[in-house]
Amino acid sequence: MDLNTLLQRAQNLNNDAKAECELPAVERTLQQVLRATTELHSRVTQTGCKEIQAHILLGSKGVDLPKLNQKLEALSARKTFEPLDVKADTDVRTFLKNERENAILSVIEDTKKNISDSANKQRWASMNKVWNEEKTRLLDALIAPSQNFIDLQRLPEPTIVNPLCQPRSCLDPLELVYAQELRHYNELLLKSSHRPNLVQKFAHLSQSFGDCRLTDMWTLLACVTQISEPLRSDPIKSRQQRPEFVTYAKSYLERRYRVFMCSQVGGSYANNSYQLVVAYVNHRFRAQQTIGLVDTVREIPLWPLVYYGLRCGAVKVAVEFLREAGSSHDEFAQLVADRNAGETNSKIENQLRLQYANKIRNSTDAYKKAVYCILLGCDVNEVHGEVAKTIDDFLWMRLAMIQPGDADNYGKLQSMILEQYGEKYFNARQQPYLYFETLALTGQFEAAIEFLARQDENRAHAVHMAIALFELGLLGSARSVSQPLLSIDIKDPQPLRRLNLTRLIRQYVQRFERTDTSEALHYYYTLRCLKDSKGRNMFMACVCDLVVDSGVFDTTIFDLIFGKRQSSDQNDVNSGLFRQFECPEFDTRTMAAQVGDELAALGNFEMSARLYEMAGKYNLAVKHICILMAQVVHLPTLGGSLRERLGQDAQRFNQLLASDSIDVEPKMKSSFVLLQDLLIFFNFYHDGKFNAALDLLRQTQLVPNTLDDVDVVLGNVKQLSGEVIKVLPDVIVAAMEIAQKQYKQLKAGSGSSLEQTQMQQLRQRAKALSNMAATMPYRLPNDTNKRLIELELDMH
């Protein structure tokens, strides 16, 4: 066949293919063929030869491998520990097997769920505890007043103090003087003698400080708190309703201004108010300064005389000036005299108010307008800047305008000072004494004390002012001891605040409660009338926290407060600091029981046992000693260790129980006696006194000597307490080791018949101990069983 024929047939085949197939012909260049070959080679290389061979093998059998992979992936594997489904047509054996497996899986699932819930609960409890500690630190660090009520618990921050280091006092000389005065005051109260006025005592003490500003603050506080009788109801509400606070504040400003007037004109007029006022007005006003002033008396402006007579508290002198001015001022003179006598004349007041509205309001005499407004209460919002040049003048005028029982205007004045003007207006940071006096003169003692407490140099004064006012019943205390230092109660008259005395004292005392514990207790004693959210007396709660926070291993604070035992005698305890505060409400025994409960909750059983013993709760004392002995009874005795201390306590309690000096429950007593016997047993064991140890162990009847004793001993074990049972594995191991060592000694001997008999007895004892361990009503630790088997095998 030639080439032309071959070409023709090829063209015919091509035409037939085009006619039968509608797909377009594919024409590739050499580059496209090369690229397709490369892609095919890469796919083959990535897939692997084995997978290709699998495709070829399964494909030859009619299996679609990709489709099979999709079906396998769609199948869900059975979950771990998923209960098995019971088939209805199975036999009994299969059914019981399936039920058993379901029960096991159910227990595993429940246990897993309980563990998860317990772990989550503990985790959240831990997070809550840490957050509460952080909130307490943040709240204590706040320096600005807060109006939010936050319920916090004071959480301990334990610190271990080196017992060999003698602490120095953290109180400076001024704080020490305050502390000594408070101690003397508390001692008078504890002796049930007359209660002195603590504000007056501190005011007298402040004269020795050498700071006139401090003396003025205490003098001010003493003057405005001279109430005739203590407040029986809530101090906040009573303060707004009793006129004494306004009267005494106004009187204090008048006396202070009188001193100022004498300093301007000389002290020769101090005893003559009339001449003092005249001299001061002449000194203050010259001829050119009397322009606009109306009415004169002997060529002296009348209304400045009347104003300054009232300003320095000389009301009668002001009346005398008005009467000298003529009959036209008789009505006003009568008004001033009636006000001074505590009387009112509505007719005269109405006439003078009408006169003020028609004429006086537009008068050029600023002093006349001021006097009318002061006595008649006209234009209470008028500043009278030409007359009131200082804060004292402004306060005196506003206080003079307040009528007895006018709580509304009194509250408005307080709001103006505290909220409208505030610290920024008075430049309180630079002038703290001025702002304090302004608040105190307007009856806002709590806000004034809190402001001073924010300054380090004045904190000591603020604390003692709060204590003094609280002792007088004049301090508005917070509703709850967990509230912020300064808080607002929506039930109180606005804008009065409440001061958290507990928080203030604890913040102050925590700095020196470890070094000056005696002084700290006297400060905490001032909180004896307050209670915390749990109903505990705050004095006892603070002392309890002091002991608990002192640390688990620090007994210095403990011995200082409760006394230190001098000998094993129950009553031979020196007097602690707390004994001086004993009263019908609380005593040392009550305090010891409360601290013991706190320490027991924290796991400090050793200290709690001592406190329970001091409180007379001997069952609790013996119980916690037993718990501790069960932990260390099998250990060797080391100097200064817990085991050595417990041995001394156990010996003392054993003597008390033997002499019937204390009453303890029979079961508790039995456990204690057994543990003490085991303590002595292990002492013999560690000292190598095996015969003495075995003699004591036979008396306890805790382990068998022969196989016949096993049932009897097991019966005794069922009646033992948990503390004794906890020690029992160590007792069995110790008894087995004694038998093994005695067996080896006999085996190394001459081999006489007596020794052979004794060796047989030792093997019987070892067998009895092994049987007892195997038939115990609870499972022994694996190490114990392993050790027992090794010792028994070593005896054969």
Q: What count of residues does the chain have? A: 796
Task: Using the structure block, give the residue that is written with the tokens 């199975």.
Answer: 90
* DSSP-assigned letter for residue 474: -
Token pair recorded at residue 205: 């003490």
**Cα separation, 505 vs 513, whole angstroms:** 11
**Cα separation, 433 vs 339, whole angstroms:** 32
Find, among 699, 701, 727, the residue nearest to 628 by Cα.
727
Per-residue confidence band for 445, with pLDDT thresholds at 50, 70 and 90: very high
Instruction: Note if the pTM is more than 0.75.
Output: no
Q: Is the pLDDT of residue 77 over 70?
A: no
**Sequence-ordered list of residues with C-beta below 8 angstroms from that of 371, at least 6 positions apart, any chain:** 303, 306, 307, 310
| pLDDT tens-digit readout, 533-575 | 888 889 989 988 888 887 654 567 777 888 776 554 545 455 6
Percent of the chain with pLDDT over 90: 33
Q: What angle do CA 53, 58, 63 make, to 5 degrees?
A: 145
| pLDDT tens-digit readout, 704-733 | 988 888 888 888 888 888 899 899 999 999
Q: Is the pLDDT of residue 159 over 60?
A: no
Q: Is the pLDDT of residue 147 over 50?
A: no
**Burial call 498-528: b when 16+ CB within 10 Å, e when fewer:** bbbbbbbbbbbbbebbbebbebbbbbbbbbb
Per-residue confidence band for 682, with pLDDT thresholds at 50, 70 and 90: very high
| pLDDT tens-digit readout, 483-513 | 999 999 998 988 999 999 999 999 999 999 8
Find, among 334, 393, 332, 397, the residue nearest to 360 by Cα.
332
Mean pLDDT of 90-116: 85
* DSSP-assigned letter for residue 543: H
| pLDDT tens-digit readout, 165-192 | 555 778 889 999 999 999 999 999 888 7
Token pair recorded at residue 707: 């196989």
Task: Using the structure block, give the residue that is written with the tokens 């004049």.
Answer: 474
Residue 638, class by beta-carbon neighbours within 10 Å (0-12 exposed, 13-18 middle, 19+ buried)?
exposed
Token pair recorded at residue 507: 């913040």
| pLDDT tens-digit readout, 211-223 | 999 999 999 999 9
| pLDDT tens-digit readout, 238-285 | 888 888 899 999 999 999 999 999 998 877 777 888 999 999 998 888
